[in-house]
Amino acid sequence: MNSYLLLAYGVMWLIIFAYIFSIDLRHIKLRKELSRIRTILDKYDMPVKKKPIIR
Amino acid sequence: MVLLRKIHGSLTLLTMMGALYAIFVIAPRELTMGIVQKIFYFHVSAAWIGFFGIYVVFFCSLIFLIKGGRQWDIRAASAAEVGVIFFTLNLVSGPIWAKPVWGIWWTWDARLTTSFILWLIYLGYLMIRRLVENPEQRARLSAVVSILGSIDAPIVYMANRWWRTQHPQPVVAGDSNSGLHPDMQVALLLTLLAFTMLFFYLWKTRINLERAREDVDILQQTVQYHIKEAR
């Protein structure tokens, strides 16, 4: 197979997967932050108007 | 909702596999350029979805400026990020295709330059969203930038029709000499469908992330408020 064709499709798939991976990483970071805040809220019994859900 | 997203994700993956099959098995090899022409399917679809993303940003920003509402700002910002990714695919695949066909990676012709400017405008849009801290100010400023930036989109589209460019004339929706082999059309349409589904999947995922981030910010502020009260 032509090396330019391989390079083009390789780079494009790399970008797509890197972006999906970056969204996933940001989700994981947010979940960690949320569980940290929840621990504080539960520990000190702080009232909260809306409990967030990470979809 | 989770089940729907899983179905959407699976269908996107299946369509993408179908598109790759159509590109590499069904579509014939182009006579002049040979097998390297198969970059065309992803290159063109990425550009179209990039444009689509820019118009989603434009409409969401316009509605935000007219009606207000945080959800329109979130939708615009998420579409901008996904749109930039598709434009990046287009801008990266273009030079890799150009090198074996034109003998050069890049040239500053009207089509390529306006595309590059459009990409820079939307990178600027994303940078504004990171730099401006006040949410209201950030939303308004980025909405204005996206509306002004979208003016470049029709110029990019028309560039190789208005001016003589190194970039080839359009093969779809071009003059009477333009057109594609029916099997090439199938491959292009399938790729376009797969990219459209991928755009909506990523957009929805990105919107969920932004909403969750906003909720976490509110919680952080609540914790800080309670700590201040306790002191």
In this predicted structure, the answer to whether residue B173 has a pLDDT above a threshold of 70 is no
Tell me the whole-structure pTM to 2 decimals.
Answer: 0.88
Mean pLDDT over all residues of chain A?
84
Domain extents in chain B: 38-167+181-230
**What would you report as the CA-atom Rg of chain B, rounded to the nearest whole angstrom?**
21
Please tell me the distance from the alpha carbon of residue A7 to that of residue B161, in angstroms, as a whole number.
29
Q: Measured between beta carbons, which residues in chain B are less than 8 angstroms from residue A12? A: 42, 46, 89, 92-93
Please tell me the distance from the alpha carbon of residue B113 to that of residue B109, in angstroms, as a whole number.
6
- Of the candidates B163, B134, B213, the one whose C-alpha atom is nearest the C-alpha of residue A52 is B213
Instruction: Spell out the SS3 assignment of A14-53.
Output: HHHHHHHHHHHHHHHHHHHHHHHHHHHHHHCCCCCCCCCC
Closest residue in B to A40 (Cα) is B223
Task: Identify from B213, B229, B231 which residue to disrupt to test chain A contact, counting A C-beta atoms within 10 A and taking the largest count.
Answer: B213
Between these two residues, B228 and B87, which has the higher pLDDT value?
Answer: B87
- Of the candidates B216, B191, B184, the one whose C-alpha atom is nearest the C-alpha of residue A37 is B216
Counting one residue from chain A and one from chain B, the pairs whose CB atoms sit within 8 A come to 89
Contact B51, B79 (CB under 8 A): no
Mean pLDDT value across residues B19-26: 94
Mean pLDDT value across residues B43-56: 94
Q: Which of B1, B89, B208 sits opposite A12 (nearest CB)?
A: B89
State residue A49's pLDDT score. Answer: 61
